[in-house]
Amino acid sequence: MLALLPDDVLVLLDDHFLDLGGTYGVPEAGDPIQYDELHIEHDDGTVEIVVYNGAILLPFTDSEAVKGIHEVCCRLDDITALRRRA
């Protein structure tokens, strides 16, 4: 599956990114609840990353992890939208 991703996304998914598994944000922080969810399968298992209400979380954090996750999610959304139009 990774071979199907553009190089700019692959660069973002470095080894450090695989250490970011977990949950970020607070589901109760927004209504309606908005979330991004990534499941990354690799040789050593699966990494699951969930970010709740990133639009609320992002402006109030200095976390490079949250910023990196946001960047990957946005790029994947762009790719998905382009493929739907094709």
pLDDT in tens, 24-67: 998 888 888 888 999 888 778 888 999 999 888 889 888 888 88
Pairing of strands 22-24, 45-52: parallel
Answer yes or no: are the C-beta atoms of 25 and 51 closer than 8 Å.
yes
Average pLDDT over residues 63-76: 88
0.85 exceeded by the pTM?
no
